[in-house]
Structure 1
Amino acid sequence: MTVFTHRGGEYLTVDDASLYYEQLGAADAPALILLHGGLGHIESFNAITPHLARRWRVIGIDSRGQGMSTLGGAPLTYARMQHDAERVIDHLALERVTLIGHSDGGIVALRMAAS
């Protein structure tokens, strides 16, 4: 499968939220994290995931309160979204990642790059 389907992914509990993520491509390929925009979900990347999965281990994360991820009780901020993405990266034991984000996901990617 080379597109996100919201079936067969995994959940990671971060604080009081469950974050949903899916992976495409070879497990030993370089990691590429996709961060979607506000009110979106990982399937918004499906036009490009078949191409990306040829070279990358593509990991799509549904942001807190969007897609299949739950919101939890804390306020939704860019800092929290950054923390969530970093916890998924830690959980997957990824030492090096490339980030692609648009809209809110782009802000999170920029925050991660700056830190």
Structure 2
Amino acid sequence: ILLFLYIGFIALQAAIDDPRRADKAGAILALVGVVNIPIIYFSVKWWNTLHQGASVSLTKAPSMAAMMLWGMLLCALACWMYSIAVALMRVRVIMLERERHTDWVRALLAGRE
């Protein structure tokens, strides 16, 4: 389901020529896609024959070795930090591209030179 939502989002963004309208339509589709989050989360419990049980839980002790748990948590934290940094850099580039004809972008670029 998530794959089809992602492909639909990309197709919707590409189908609309006006970037602002495309963003609004994509935002609506993304809000509709939020319904998929609980399905993904609870799929481990609902279809336990297809999925391995949860290795880490808030209510139970972890079912993995402590060294593996710390490594997994460290990598998850690093992945989150990297993803947030890349997303913020991408948003900055998109804003500068869309507003390139405004005075504040010209002043920003003139300050770099």
TM-score by length of 2: 0.23
Q: Which one has a larger percent helix, Structure 1 or Structure 2?
A: 2
> Which structure has more strand as a fraction of its residues?
1
Does 1 or 2 have the higher relative contact order (CA < 8 Å, sep 6+)?
A: 1
